[in-house]
């Protein structure tokens, strides 16, 4: 993978991603099931890394949202 990135251009040319820390779970719009799933996916591995390590569970590296705002 790294070789492919280098072949396409210099890694120094890649701009770091900006993270908007002002967005919280309250911004998900009251979709209780989606908020619960997000917390299980994002927060639990950060709070309990030893549990994930013990059961050899590798937490996801990201979450992809799709659809217009308010979409179920």
Q: Which two tokens stand for residue 13?
A: 């040319």
Is 37 part of any domain?
Answer: yes
Which of 5-9, 38-42, 55-59: highest mean pLDDT? 55-59
Alpha-carbon span 49 to 47, nearest angstrom: 6
Alpha-carbon span 4 to 70, nearest angstrom: 37
- pLDDT per residue as tens digits for the range 9-55: 666 677 777 878 888 777 766 678 888 988 899 899 999 999 999 99
| Domain span holding position 46 | 31-61
Instruction: Indicate the number of domains in the chain.
Output: 1
Alpha-carbon span 31 to 65, nearest angstrom: 14
Is 51 part of any domain?
Answer: yes
Could you tell me the pTM of the whole model?
Answer: 0.51
């Amino acid at each position: 993978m790294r070789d492919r990135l280098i072949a396409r251009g210099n890694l120094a040319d890649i701009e770091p991603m900006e993270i908007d820390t002002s967005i919280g779970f309250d911004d998900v719009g009251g979709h209780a099931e989606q908020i619960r799933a997000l917390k299980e996916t994002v927060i639990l591995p950060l709070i309990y890394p030893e549990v994930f390590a013990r059961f050899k569970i590798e937490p996801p590296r990201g979450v992809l949202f799709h659809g217009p705002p308010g979409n179920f």
